[in-house]
Chain A
Amino acid sequence: MMSETILQVTGLTMDFGGIRALDTLDFEVRAGEILALIGPNGAGKTTLFNCVTGIYTPSGGDILLYQPGVRARTRLNGLKPNHVAEKGVARTFQNIRLFSKMTVLENVMVGRHCRTKAFILGAVFRDRKTRAEEQAIVEQSYALLKEVGLAAQVNELAGNLSYGAQRRLEIARALATEPFLLLLDEPAAGMNPQETIRLVQLIGKIRDQGHAILLIEHDMKLVMTLSDRIVVMDYGRKIAEGAPEEVRSNKEVIRAYLGEEG
């Protein structure tokens, strides 16, 4: 049985001046799956992430989001990044973008921002509701940090963490926004083999909790073991799509990766 579509991208096009970074791209993400997005450098994978999360406004096409429990679909094109996050789409960044002068815990607490309400008056007077909310933020954030294995470093400054730990912290921060779709941009980049193994377990666990994951990754072993389906991009176009085994033997894919003769 095919599970329902939660993100549908149709004819997505993104132009930067004369350069077409994304060219009429079509694909969909289904509930509870891990979809990997692969392709050579400059294929437009991160551009796609930026379009989906509202950092870029696409030049053409549609990005439609089907939120669980909401009947109407949402068009994400041109929505501000913070509204996309409110709709339940969270992401990590290829070049780590943590709040490096804040502690590990505070980084995750910032992720709770869009699910909480306290404002100026609440902050100043600290009424009972605000205190309860604040307490909940701390507890939920700590729980998330335990999950990604950073419980021992809660009070460390984020900038002082090791590379692998920073990547995991980014995932925890993204999870704090309660997403149902998680976009991971090269989560294993720069990790050593042990760290990668732990990351694979973590991503598997996140999927099992019911989050759908859209993953950009260059580590083919990781992609092949984790993903349910793979979309292959080259020069802003989709050149192949399917289960890992299908994609592995696809002629187009081999050509894109290894050149004409391959």
Chain B
Amino acid sequence: MKALVWHGTQDIRCDTVPDPKIEDDRDAIIKVTACAICGSDLHLYDHFMPGMEKGDVMGHEFMGEVVETGKGVNGALRKGERIVVPFTIICGECDQCKRGYFSVCERTNRNKDIADKVFGHTTAGLFGYTHLTGGYQGGQAEYVRVPFADKTHIKVPENLSDEQVLFLGDIFPTGWQAAVQADIQPTDTVAIWGAGPVGQMALRSALLLGARQVVCIDSVPERLEMARAGGAITIDNSQDSAVERLNELTSGKGPEKCIDAVGMEAHSPRALEHAYDRLKQAVMLESDRAAVLREMIYVCRPAGILSIPGVYGGLVDKMPMGALMNKGLTIRTGQTHVNRWTDDLVKRIDDGQIDPSFVITHRAKLEQGPEMYKTFRDKKDNCIKVVLRP
């Protein structure tokens, strides 16, 4: 089969690889009908996340048709059924899964020992996202083996198109969880850093959940335009100081809720701060750039909440703990507990409350994937979200 394969830093190729096979009774094989390139795939593309190996198949946002099931799937899935696959692999049986904390499933990371050493405790296995999270082959391929398939799936109504439901596997519930864990109140100003796909979903979620004012901060004009289309006030932080503008918009008090939809590759608009972070990264004194975190902590209203869906992989430097502590801020973060939200979100899409396909700007064939990675990474051609069809 054809698949997008990681060969090294900024080197992804469309290769022919062996077809996946059932390896465990709870496995299913999916014929992929649509997959997407996620912003967090770029952390792998640029090799900011450790743990990738040459030959790994990329992709964790995909959907398709069930073509084969193991004996242990026990009727939870049938051949021919159309499903979206959540990026977190879940067993549904461990203590964390039973509590609804699916992204920290205790059983699905088959490289648990490595994760235990790096993070202290393991998190869930993820598709196509380093050997730190299990080394599972990803979904930017013609076929995928879905482990624990009896639980790791989202069933979707036939009347909804692939493009309407594809993002239930990652960015839509990720944006939704980011807004939900910010505990949005009708009086709140919600500031969102990053108008990429997760930021776009987060700002629409914040609006649907009733935020008084949603402000989106980015420097890419077309992304800001899409954010404005979704009802956000925007700040171009290459032109204006985000701190200054946010204080202006909140009568000097700061936004009650702040969401970091950028993560480890943040660019500070302040040249010296950015040069400092790049330098520390280059000499391996930090792995992740904390420019957004610093700004959020500084500008957030005291007693406010910081919600962090943006992906971080290691260590950051110069965290303003004094401001964080003295302002009494709460941080809520984590990979998304996808299946916890998807029943509700499927219903909202089906009811017409939101159509997540608004974010798709580029459609291409799987074979064009390597080129689309570059287009997406370089934000060429106003690219915001790429959907690939095998």
Whether chains A and B associate is: no
- B contact set with A: CB distance below 8 Å: none
- A contact set with B: CB distance below 8 Å: none
